Amino acid sequence: MPEETNSSTFNKAQAGIKKYRGLSLLNAVGGFLVVLALIVWGAGFAYASYLDGQVTKLEEEIEKFREPLELEDVERKRAIEEVIQVDRAIDRGELLLTEQQSIASIFDTIERYTLVDVRYNDFLYDASTQRVTLSAIAFDDRAFAEQLLVYQGAEEFSDVEFDRIKLGEGGEISFSLVLRVNNLSS
């Protein structure tokens, strides 16, 4: 019987080895999977760190480009404000030139209708009402009367008014003349 014992012990030992071989195979596959998982996790962590570094580099580069753009924006805004100011100045200048041309033509017209014996001391022009107010002195009553008739007959003026008429010691007549300008030609 001792043989039986030996063979049964041998069979039991072989069965145990086979049992352990199956476990060792499972352990090896499981270990391999754990190692593989650690490698994948490590690679993912390394890749994430690499991407974080790249994002940081890109943010730094963007900041380098953003600063000049911000300065350019400030300079651009300043330039736009200067252009607006220049445009306003041009508009004012254009208005002044237009008024100057209008006033120049008024002076020309008044000069054409002014008699030799009349002299003007003061001039006021209101562009909104197109009225001219003149302070004048006529050397005698005849010059005053003729000047009144000349302006009343002129097509360029309407609503001709003489007022503040004063007779001076030497016979001269000072007066104020208000004219509405009908047609201004530049």
Element (H, E) at 118: strand 118-126
Least confident window among 16-20, 31-35, 45-49, 142-146: 16-20
- Give me the residues paired with residue 173 across strands: 138, 167
Q: What are phi and psi of 42, to 5 degrees?
A: -60, -40
pLDDT exceeds 70 at position 172: yes
- Could you give the percent of the chain with pLDDT greater than 90? 0
Predicted model pTM = 0.43
Q: What DSSP string runs through 146-167?
A: HHHHHHHH-TTEEEEEEEEEEE
- Cα 184 to chain centroid distance, Å, stands at 37
Residue found under tokens 């002076």: 107
- For position 186, what pLDDT does the model report? 45
Distance CA 23, CA 6 (A): 25
To the nearest 10°, report the CA torsion of 130, 125, 164, 151: -60
Looking at every residue in the chain, the average pLDDT score rounds to 78
**pLDDT bucket at 13, cuts 50 / 70 / 90:** low
**Phi, psi for 57 (deg, rounded to 5):** -60, -45
Domain ranges, ordered by start, for the chain: 114-181
pLDDT above 60: residue 70: yes
What are the tens digits of pLDDT across the range 104-159? 777 888 888 888 888 888 888 887 778 888 888 888 888 888 888 888 888 888 88
Over residues 75-88, mean pLDDT = 84
Q: Which CATH class is domain 114-181?
A: alpha beta
Question: Which carries the bigger pLDDT value, residue 185 or residue 85?
Answer: 85
181 neighbors 132 (Cβ within 8 angstroms): yes
Residues in the chain: 186
Highest mean pLDDT among 9-18, 24-33, 67-76, 133-142: 133-142
pLDDT of residue 20: 57
Compute φ and ψ for 157, nearest 5 degrees: -125, 150
